[in-house]
Structures are given as C-alpha cells and as structure tokens.
A and B are shown apart, each in its own frame.
Chain A
Amino acid sequence: MASVPYPVENLHGHAAIRKRAGFWASFVDEWIFTVDHKHLGLMYIIVALLFFVVAGLQGAAIRIQLMYPNNTFLSPQTFNRVFTMHGTTMVFFVGMPFIAGVANYLIPLMIGTRDMAFPRLNALGFWLSLFGGILLYSSYLAWAGPAGTGTAPDVGWFAYAPLTEKAFSPGSSTDFWILSIIMSSVGSTVTAVNILATALCLRAKGMTLARMLLLVWMFCVVAFQILVALPPLTAAQIMLLLDRFLGAHFFDTYAAGDAVLWRHFFWLFGHPEVYILIIPGFACVTEIIPVFARKPIFGRAAMIGASVSIGFISLGVWAHHMYTVGLPSRANIFFAVATMLVGVPTGIKIFNWIATMWGGRIRFRTPMLWCTAFLFQFLIAGLTGIMLAVAPFGWQLGNSYFVVAHFHYTLIGGLLCTLFAGVYYCFPKATGRMLSETLGKWHFWLLIIGFHVTFDDLHIAGLLAMPRRIYTYPAGRGWEGFNYFSTWGVAIQGVAILIFVWNVLDSLIRGKKAGNDPWDAWTLEWGTPSPPPAYNFATLPEVRSSRPLWYLKHPEDPDWKYEQA
C-alpha cells in the first residue's frame, strides 16, 4: 500500500492557541464559532442522530399504542402529536441535517479543496437547522391554552389545510410547526447553494466535471432539487401564516379558498423531498460498493445521467400522492406515467451497482453489508412504489398501512441503511478510529431483522385495509397479529440502535487506530490524515483520473489507459 501521497506539515499556531485559551474557550472557538466544513459536518450528523433517537422513540410509542386493538397507551390527542412530531422530525431534523452533514464533511475532501465555497453561510445553515428543530420542540413548553390546544403540533407532517386554519387548529402549535420548518428550510437552501458553488467552483486542478466523483455529482442533483422544491413549501407556509394571522383566504374554503391547492403545493415539495433524501443514500452506496468490490463503478456516465434525470423527473410526479383527491383522470394518468418513468433511471442505478459487484473481489465488511441490504430492500421499496403509482391500485391503497410500509422501506431499508454504511465507512476518516466489526455486524443483523419484522407485516395489514393515522382499531379485522409482531420488530431495532451507540462511544475511546486509508480506497479524502487537519490538504492535489489515489498506488495500471479525459 502506498504511503500518504500528499505530505502533511504540522500547522503550528492553532494548537498553541488552543493550549493557551483553556478548554471552554477553545471549545467555543472550535465548535460554536466554527466555519470549518468538517466540524459543521460532524455537528450536523450529531444533531441528526440526537433527533433520530427522539423521533425513533416517538415511532416506538406509536407502535406500542397500535400493538393491541383498543389500546390506551396514548390518548388520541397525544397520538396525533406523536405521529406529527415523528414524521416532521424524521424528515426535517434527521434526514435533512444528516445529508447536509455528509455533504459538508465529504465534498471538499473529495474534490480536493480546503473548505466549502461560503464557509460562514455554511455555519448559518447549520445553526438555522438546529434552532428550527429546537423551535419545533419548544412547542411542548408552550402554554396549553384555554381549550387545551397548545403543546406540540398535531396536524401531521403534511399539515393539510384547511384543517390547519385557525378555526380548526386554534392555539399556537401549528405556528410552531410552520415557523420551525420555514427556518430549517432556509438553512437547507443556503446549504444547497453552498454545495453547488463548492462542487462547481472549487474542484482541484485536473478534476473536470467528467472526473468529479459520483457522490459529488449526486449531491449537486440534490442541491438543485432543494433549491427548486423547498420554496413551494415555504411559499405555502407563508400563505398559511397569512391565513392564520391576517385573515387571508388562501385555504379558507368558505371564502373561495382552495384546500386542494395546499396539497398541490405541499406535494410539489413533498415528492422531490423523497428524492432529496434518498439520492444522498445512492451517493454513499455508489462510493462504497466499488471500494469493497475492488472494481471501478460500472457505467459511470450512465450513473450521472440517471441521477440528473431522476432530479428532473421527480419534480413532475407529485400528484401521485393525490389519487384519492379526485383529480381529473387525465392528470392521474399523467402522474402515473411520470412516476413509473422515475423507475427507469432508478433501475439503471440498481443494475450498475449489481454490475459493479459482479465479478468483483467482494469484501463483506460492515459498510458493504449495509449496501447489500440496501440493494434488496430498495428494490422491494421501488416495486411497491410502482404498484402504488398505478392510479387504480394507489386509489385503493392510498392512506392505508401499505403506503406506510412502502415509504418506511425506502427511508429505513433504503436511506437509513446507506447512511449507516456511510457512517461505518467514514468513521475512521473522521475520528481516526475504526468502529468494531463485531458490534457492527450485530448492529447490522439486528436492525435488518427488526426492520423486516416491523414493516413486512404492515404491508399485509395495509392490504387488509388498515388505514394509516388511526390511533386505535377494533379487534376482529385481521390486523392484530401483524400489529403485534410489528411492535416487537421495533424492540429489536431499538436493541440494534443501542449497540450502535455503544459501538460509537466505545470505538471513540478504544477503537483500533485507523490509519489514513483503512479500506484501501482511491478517492482524495483517503489521501489525508485521519482525522484530516483543518486545512485538509497541505498541498492542493492534482487529479488525472476519476480515481485519484489509484494511480498513485498502482502506477503500473493507471485509469487513463481506459478513461477518456
């Protein structure tokens, strides 16, 4: 194995200042006022994981309530609050910060530069996201109000108007929901600006767009989608605020306002959001599978094309969430066809990942295990997605537990698995220590088993017409067994997450030293020390192919024999 290709000099000054300043002062200096992309990236991920625990507990509470028919673990009001907070937190304060963290940490390292294009904007984005989350949760502290309508929002993460109008949602809880999400959306928007500006403007010498890593390409697509798809939500929320506080009539159906308009605006954001969340998962898989299959990615150009086309097509499929609204059948047909069209580039990707593994010398370390599980689970999620895209089928199963099972398959079976893959893959780079393989495998198998026990049965409960968002159900509908086992699945997942937390804490202290390049990878970030210094690269690297470290390690077999520049 080659030594570190980019020699690192010790930067004097910074450490000395830290020594002089004392612990708290340096902590504040290093973590609160930081504009370093690596610190911000880690802070994003830590925040996301904390919110993940909270929202995961809320999910567990939902499952406990639904474990038996006529259960009284949660009151109907509390149940509504819990499922609203679970969905909102998972999407806006777990998924979004996590992908922002991954982007922040990896993109500058992968394109060979020292920081994001707008470091202070970057810090602003982080703090807005964090305070958005805190604002949402501070709703619990709000006064309950005369009608007991305060505390946490209970309108669902979709907040369908006119049920969110003042007449139906008095009190301040809905305002907490609106304002916290506007705040974090602004944070996400500035992060997206930063991602695009960094990837397009700060690449190392020689790294043309054709040689840019696929992860960075995919994050560019995500950033574009954020820029285009988040504003509709913000706009709709501004309208809702005007309705609630100034007596405007956007969604007030008594004064010619329109309830369907909210659903259009919300899902115009909501569906691209699904891709905003899952494409970073694709990005992680695309970087990890080649390294562990010891082969370059199959069909690089096709991968880029597929990502970009997903980015565009996904902007035109939103109304497949609205089959039950009663749109004209021409609209339903259009959105059904458009939705199926998204399956084509996604299929290309799955084909390419499998083709990359095909004939490779696969090493099933923990990151690769997550990626392999992702391939199976995401395929199933995609297939149930195609089923729901068929308008008559979607019309039958819309608002049933089949939908719940489908999107948890994409978000846990797809996104969460890939993010764990990314964490296991990049933990050595970020901390200098390896995560334990043994505990990692326990974590992996328990989570996968728990996940399948939880959500496989919910497909069937959905097919048996169990509606979503109900706080309880009568006995004798045939749903009891599925719900019972589903809740036990959550317990297994909980154990898996505990093992993960233990693994992280333990490895931080006692983990095996990672070295610079524990996976024998070939992208630029592995050419830096672990953890990378504040300036990333002592000398900015120069790049000759899409696998910059490969030709330094294997000068006898460089990529440019096969690659067109």
Chain B
Amino acid sequence: MSTVASLPIPPVIEDAHNFDRGKVGLICLILTEVSLFSIFVTAYLFFIGKSTSGPQPADVLTLPVWATICLLSSSLTAELAARSLHTGLKGRVQLWLGITILLGAEFLRQTAVEWNKLIHTDHLTIATNVFGTTYYLVATTRRNPCVHPRTERQIFPDARHLPVGSNNSGPLRDGNAPIAFGRVRPDEDGDDPVRGAGNAKIARGVNRHQSVAGIELSVVAQSHRNCLLQRRHRRIRG
C-alpha cells in the first residue's frame, strides 16, 4: 500500500464548463417546437394537390407583400430592442418594442382582412377540403414560429416541385400557390400547447419567432434569477 507521500497527484479541479440554463432551456423549447411544427408542415406538404373539391390555393391566395414586410421588419425591430436592452437605454428599448408591437398589430389586421375574404367571399373554411384543413392549421399555428422566416421562404417554394395528386383538376395547382410568405407571424397570444405548458417562465419576453432576440432577452432575465439563486444558496450555507 502506498503512503500518502507517494500518492499520485490529484488532478486540478477545473470548472465543469457548465452552460447557461436559460439558453439550454430555450434551445430545448425551440427543438420541441420545431419538432411539433415540422409535423404540421409535413401534413401540409403531404396534402398539397389532394383536395377533391372546393377552392384551390391558386384560386384564392395572393402574395401578401405588405404583411410580409411588416412581419420581417418586426423581427429586425425586436432584435434592435434586445440590443438596446444591453446598452441600458430604456427609452430606446421602449421605442423599438413599440414599433414591433405596431408592426405586429398591422400584421394581425392584414390577416383579419385576408381571412375575412377567404371565409366569406371564397368560402374556404377548415371543413371545406384538405387544403382548407391544412392551410388553417399551419396558418393559425404560425407554421413553425421558431424557425426564422428566411428558412420559411426556403421551405415553401420547394412545394411547387412536389408531385401532385392525380385527382387534382390541373397540374401543380396547389403547388403554384404563393403562400410562401406572410403566414409567419409574431405571436402574441401564446396559444400553442407546448408553450402554453408553462415554459413561459423560461421564455418570458420572447417574441415567438424572433428566437435570437428571445434568447437574449431571456438571458437577461436569467442572469437576474441567477443572482437571486446565489443569494438563496448563500443563505442556506449560513
């Protein structure tokens, strides 16, 4: 048996290289949302061109340019708000957040107008045909809100090249629909089942699809909570 003097030197205790739990929590949340919404999108792509009756996408959908501009720029303003948060300029944060809310409100108004037309003029509801079914599912749940809109644009034009169901009235009908833009919305209502489950705590302050800004905002909240926690631990240690 070796003596204490001849013991091998224990390794230096280095830090465990822990990650920030706010970030990990939010990345997990994004992962699970991506999984959820990719199923919705899969259903949408699967049913393209399979409607047996009723309006087809090409008949009723138009390219919502103004709504898309509102949507994409709201990403930018939310990001700017998050950056101003780090500079500590309260007024600037409020300004950019205000603009984000205005853009979001305008976007919602556009959506209301569009849906009013779809439902009352074109008679397309969720029960009309599989196009209506999948369209409203994907549109109401904001497609995949955690994926950046740019990715959305890459996903949806591809739909044009998908094979079409044989029972469709014309070639590539559903696929021609310019629905690539405009359905990704900043989501203020938090109606998604996964998010509704109380992850709001991690993701408080996250504007749904602006994941980068969301992470940063939550990091700020998180560091505050870390301070509280450290204080609690110190209390426990006495």
- Is residue B194 contacting chain A, with contact meaning CB distance below 8 A? yes
A231 interface neighbour in B167, B194, B236, Cβ under 8 Å: B194
**Chain B neighbourhood of A69, CB < 8 A:** none
User: In the complex, what residue of chain A is closest to B36 when comparing beta carbons?
Assistant: A231
User: In the complex, what residue of chain B is closest to A248 when comparing beta carbons?
Assistant: B133
**Chain A neighbourhood of B136, CB < 8 A:** 248
- Is residue A504 contacting chain B, with contact meaning CB distance below 8 A? no
- Asked whether A234 and B193 contact (CB < 8 A) given A242-B126, A256-B129, the answer is yes
* A255 x B193 contact (CB < 8 A): no
Q: A250-265: contact bitstring with B at CB < 8 Å (1 yes, 0 no)? A: 1000011110010001
Q: How far is the CA of A561 from the CA of B37 in the complex (A)?
A: 49
* B198 x A124 contact (CB < 8 A): yes
* B133 x A561 contact (CB < 8 A): no
Q: Which of B182-238 contact A (CB under 8 A)?
A: 193-194, 196-199, 201-202, 233, 236-238
Q: How far is the CA of A223 from the CA of B2 in the complex (A)?
A: 43
- Is residue B113 contacting chain A, with contact meaning CB distance below 8 A? no
* B10 x A560 contact (CB < 8 A): yes
Count of CB-CB pairs between chains A and B under 8 Å = 171
* A118 x B21 contact (CB < 8 A): yes
- Is residue A549 contacting chain B, with contact meaning CB distance below 8 A? no
Interchain nearest-CB distance for A416 vs B (Å):
28
- Asked whether A193 and B28 contact (CB < 8 A) given A234-B193, A265-B39, the answer is yes
Interchain nearest-CB distance for A475 vs B (Å):
46
B43 interface neighbour in A192, A261, A535, Cβ under 8 Å: A261
Q: How far is the CA of A198 from the CA of B11 in the complex (A)?
A: 25
- Is residue A30 contacting chain B, with contact meaning CB distance below 8 A? no
* B10 x A544 contact (CB < 8 A): yes
Q: How far is the CA of A227 from the CA of B31 in the complex (A)?
A: 7
Interchain nearest-CB distance for A546 vs B (Å):
12
- Asked whether A205 and B130 contact (CB < 8 A) given A197-B28, A230-B32, A238-B193, the answer is no
Interchain nearest-CB distance for A36 vs B (Å):
13
Q: How far is the CA of A300 from the CA of B90 in the complex (A)?
A: 52
Q: Which of B46-54, B64-72, B97-105 contacts the other chain?
A: B46-54
- Asked whether A231 and B35 contact (CB < 8 A) given A256-B47, A256-B52, A558-B10, the answer is yes
- Is residue A442 contacting chain B, with contact meaning CB distance below 8 A? no
Q: How far is the CA of A227 from the CA of B25 in the complex (A)?
A: 11
* B32 x A228 contact (CB < 8 A): yes
Interchain nearest-CB distance for A104 vs B (Å):
16
Q: How far is the CA of A236 from the CA of B39 in the complex (A)?
A: 8
Q: Which of A85-93, A182-190, A332-340 contacts the other chain?
A: A182-190
**Chain B neighbourhood of A255, CB < 8 A:** 52-53, 129-130
* B197 x A118 contact (CB < 8 A): no
Where chain A touches its partner, the secondary structure class is helix
- Asked whether A558 and B8 contact (CB < 8 A) given A193-B29, A543-B13, the answer is yes
Q: How far is the CA of A75 from the CA of B17 in the complex (A)?
A: 60
Q: How large is the interface on B (under 10, 10 to 19, 20 to 34, 35 or more residues)?
A: 35 or more
A551 interface neighbour in B10, B17, B198, Cβ under 8 Å: B10
Q: A529-547: contact bitstring with B at CB < 8 Å (1 yes, 0 no)? A: 0000001001100111100
- Is residue A128 contacting chain B, with contact meaning CB distance below 8 A? yes
* A248 x B126 contact (CB < 8 A): yes
* A190 x B237 contact (CB < 8 A): no
* A256 x B51 contact (CB < 8 A): yes
Q: How far is the CA of A544 from the CA of B47 in the complex (A)?
A: 56
Q: How far is the CA of A538 from the CA of B238 in the complex (A)?
A: 10
B198 interface neighbour in A190, A232, A543, Cβ under 8 Å: A190
**Chain B neighbourhood of A234, CB < 8 A:** 36, 193-194
**Chain B neighbourhood of A543, CB < 8 A:** 13, 16
- Is residue A204 contacting chain B, with contact meaning CB distance below 8 A? yes
Interchain nearest-CB distance for A556 vs B (Å):
5
Q: Which of A4-51 contact B (CB under 8 A)?
A: 9, 11
- Is residue A203 contacting chain B, with contact meaning CB distance below 8 A? yes
**Chain A neighbourhood of B7, CB < 8 A:** 555-556, 558
Q: How far is the CA of A34 from the CA of B232 in the complex (A)?
A: 16
Q: How far is the CA of A262 from the CA of B39 in the complex (A)?
A: 11
User: In the complex, what residue of chain B is closest to A257 when comparing beta carbons?
Assistant: B130
* A201 x B19 contact (CB < 8 A): yes
- Is residue A495 contacting chain B, with contact meaning CB distance below 8 A? no
**Chain B neighbourhood of A542, CB < 8 A:** 13
Q: Which of A206-214, A398-406, A505-513 contacts the other chain?
A: A206-214
* B137 x A190 contact (CB < 8 A): no
Q: How far is the CA of A258 from the CA of B233 in the complex (A)?
A: 55
- Asked whether A118 and B8 contact (CB < 8 A) given A205-B15, A234-B194, the answer is no
* A197 x B35 contact (CB < 8 A): no
Q: Which of B123-147 contact A (CB under 8 A)?
A: 126-127, 129-130, 133-134, 136-137
- Asked whether A206 and B32 contact (CB < 8 A) given A236-B39, A249-B133, A538-B237, the answer is no
**Chain B neighbourhood of A387, CB < 8 A:** none
* B236 x A535 contact (CB < 8 A): yes
* A258 x B28 contact (CB < 8 A): no
**Chain B neighbourhood of A223, CB < 8 A:** 28
- Is residue A114 contacting chain B, with contact meaning CB distance below 8 A? yes
* A249 x B130 contact (CB < 8 A): yes
- Is residue A196 contacting chain B, with contact meaning CB distance below 8 A? yes
**Chain B neighbourhood of A197, CB < 8 A:** 21, 24-25, 28
**Chain A neighbourhood of B25, CB < 8 A:** 117-118, 193, 197
- Is residue B59 contacting chain A, with contact meaning CB distance below 8 A? no
- Is residue B165 contacting chain A, with contact meaning CB distance below 8 A? yes
User: In the complex, what residue of chain A is closest to B25 when comparing beta carbons?
Assistant: A197
- Asked whether A121 and B201 contact (CB < 8 A) given A196-B28, A255-B129, the answer is yes
**Chain B neighbourhood of A117, CB < 8 A:** 21, 24-25
Interchain nearest-CB distance for A41 vs B (Å):
19
* A190 x B13 contact (CB < 8 A): no
Interchain nearest-CB distance for B80 vs A (Å):
28
8 interchain residue pairs of minimum CB distance: A247-B127, A231-B36, A235-B39, A186-B197, A201-B21, A231-B35, A206-B13, A203-B16
Chain A interface (Cβ < 8 Å from any Cβ of B):
9, 11, 114, 117-118, 120-121, 124, 128, 182, 186-187, 189-190, 192-193, 196-198, 200-209, 223-224, 227-232, 234-236, 238-239, 242, 246-250, 255-258, 261, 265, 268, 535, 538-539, 542-545, 551, 555-556, 558, 560-561, 565
CB pairs A–B below 8 angstroms (22 shown) = A114-B236, A121-B199, A121-B202, A186-B197, A193-B25, A193-B199, A197-B28, A201-B19, A203-B18, A227-B32, A228-B32, A231-B33, A231-B35, A231-B36, A232-B39, A247-B126, A248-B136, A249-B133, A255-B52, A256-B47, A544-B13, A561-B8
Chain B interface (Cβ < 8 Å from any Cβ of A):
1-2, 4, 7-8, 10-11, 13-21, 24-25, 28-29, 31-33, 35-37, 39-40, 43, 46-47, 50-53, 126-127, 129-130, 133-134, 136-137, 165, 167, 193-194, 196-199, 201-202, 233, 236-238
Given contacts A186-B194, A205-B13, 19 further A-B contacts (CB under 8 A): A121-B199, A124-B198, A190-B197, A193-B25, A193-B28, A200-B18, A202-B18, A208-B14, A208-B16, A234-B36, A234-B194, A248-B136, A250-B130, A255-B129, A265-B39, A268-B39, A555-B4, A556-B2, A560-B10
